[in-house]
Every structure is written in structure tokens, then in C-alpha cells.
Structure 1
Amino acid sequence: MERNFALYEHQAQYYETDQMGIIHHSNYIRWFEEARTNLLDQMGFGYDQMEKLGIIVPVLAITCTYKSMVYFNDRVYIIPKIEAFNGIRLNISYQIFDKLTSELRTTGESKHCFLDKNNRPVSLKKQQPKIYELFNDYLGVDLSK
């Protein structure tokens, strides 16, 4: 299914910098979350909708590789991409590009699972088939276009 997504743009804030004047490494994880939240909203099934259905999506693991520095006031595009989805687990990759130069600044990945309010695994295929199909439809969509 062809779908056009708006790129997620972030302007680096002064409070996100460290003593060296570059963006502190911990902020990239927050930026991944911002872009992931935006992606899910654009897909039509954001965190607020999941939580109304009693579904939570915790982070199981996250990686971040720094390629080059981001400074205060730089504008970057954060591009999330669903890499794997089986109805119980979800893997998303991230690329952060400088808006002006298109230079790759950072890459990463987050791994998630779907749980109910009792912290038990949820099979979206069985319990939420429409949502399962929504994720399947968007699996592998290239957001860099």
C-alpha cells in the first residue's frame, strides 16, 4: 500500500546540549520516541488510541549509533521505519539526517512488544485484527521519500 507520510522534523534546543555545545547523547532516544509517536499517529493508531483499548507498548531494547554531531538550533529529520512486526513484537529503525546538508547524523533501533494492562502479551492478530492489518499494511514503508 502506498502511503505518504510527513517527515518528522526536530529543531535542536539549547537545553538539549551538553557542556561541549553538542546535543547530549540521551536526547536522541527522546527524538526516536517523538518520531515513533508521530509515525503511529500518521498510521492512524497512536498511543492514545492503544491505551484506550488497554494496550501498552513498552520498549524492550534500544540502540543508537552516533555518526556526526548535532548542534543547538540545527534542524534534523528523524525517519522511523517499521522493520519487523508479527502482531506481538514490533521493531523500528531510525535515521536522523541534517535538514540542510542531508548528512546522516544518527541511526538506531527500538524493539517493542504489545501488552495488556496486566503486562501480559497481546496478539494483535487475535485481539485487534484491524490494528494488526494496519501495521501489516505499513510494514516496510520507506518514509524517506
Structure 2
Amino acid sequence: MSKKICKVSFPVRYAETDQMGVVYHANYVIWCEIGRTSLIEDMGFHYADMEREGVLSPVTNISLSYLKPAKYGQDVRVETMVKSYNGVRVTYGYEIYAGDDCLVTGESEHVCVDAKSFRPIQMKKRFPEWDKAYKERLAQ
């Protein structure tokens, strides 16, 4: 049961590391955002368009497991997938690699809400194309 994975690669930048050249743990959250944004764009959408329509998608939970450190000078690859989706809430899965070594695994959960009221919205009603794309990612 494979799910379609979006892959994005980039070098570890010096500013992301400590004095020992090891990536500071909070930077992995930023890298997950890069992966999530790339996945959404890979599906043919832009998060900024959703915001212009008055919808936000705040993080309600995030969990990362640090297996090995990324270091300055390495190229890293973020692999992102849709792990679950129920029409309101979506969970993205992440794996971060340097070469063949898995450095970090994790997931983040997001709820789509109306920007003014912060009440959850049904994606199928407000963004039927996104709803369909998320369901297709789960079916793969």
C-alpha cells in the first residue's frame, strides 16, 4: 500500500546549525513545512490561494522523532505524504534523509478553519478540488 510521496532536496545551510555543525532541532519543523508546501504545489494548489479565500490551516499537533543528526554541508531530502484526511483534518507524514540515511520521521496534523471565526470548514464544500486531491493521495 504505497502513498504518493513528494520529494524535495536542499543543502543544509550554515545558519541552520550549531557551533558543531549539527542542525538545530527546530529547523526540522521548517523543513517539514517546505515538504508540505511542495506536496500541496505538486497536487496543483497553493496555500496562499486558500488564505486569499479566507481559510487557514493551523497546525494542531506535530511530532518528530530524531534518529540521526543532519550536518552542515550535507544535502537533505524531505519526503512528504498525506497520511490521513477526513474532510476537515489532514495529517502529513515526513521522512527526512541525508543520502540513504533516515534522519527524522514525523507527522503534523492541520485543521482547515475560517480565518474570521476560526471555526472548522468542510473542504468538500469550500475547496472541492483540494478535497478530491487529498482523497486521491490516500488511495495510492
- Is the shorter-chain TM-score for this pair beyond 0.5, marking a shared fold? yes
Taking only the aligned residue pairs, the percentage that are identical comes to 32
**RMSD value, Cα:** 1.9
Once the two structures are superposed, residues 5-59 of structure 1 have per-residue CA deviations (whole angstroms, 9 ceiling, x without a partner) of 6620021000100133200111000000011011101111221121122211101
In structure 2, distance between residues paired with 1:13 and 1:76: 10
Question: Is residue 133 from structure 1 mapped to residue 132 from structure 2 by the alignment?
Answer: yes
CA contact (8 A) 2:6 2:35 kept: no
Question: Is residue 97 from structure 1 mapped to residue 92 from structure 2 by the alignment?
Answer: no
CA contact (8 A) 2:8 2:38 kept: yes
Q: Indicate the SS of the match to 1:61.
A: strand
Q: Indicate the SS of the match to 1:139.
A: helix
Query: In structure 2, do the counterparts of structure 1 residues 126 and 4 end up closer, same or farther at CA, with 3 Å as the change threshold?
Result: closer
CA contact (8 A) 2:5 2:79 kept: no
For residue 98 of structure 1, report the CA deviation from its aligned partner.
1.1
In structure 2, distance between residues paired with 1:84 and 1:4: 13
Corresponding residue of 1:7 = 7
Unaligned runs of at least 5 residues, structure 1: none
Corresponding residue of 2:119 = 120
Question: Is residue 111 from structure 1 mapped to residue 120 from structure 2 by the alignment?
Answer: no
> Which stretch shows the higher mean deviation, 112-121 or 132-141?
132-141
TM-score normalised by L of structure 2: 0.90
Unaligned runs of at least 5 residues, structure 2: none
State the aligned residue count.
138
CA contact (8 A) 1:90 1:112 kept: yes
Once the two structures are superposed, residues 80-101 of structure 1 have per-residue CA deviations (whole angstroms, 9 ceiling, x without a partner) of 11000011000011001113xx
Query: Counterpart of 2:123 in structure 1: which amino acid?
Result: L
TM-score normalised by L of structure 1: 0.87
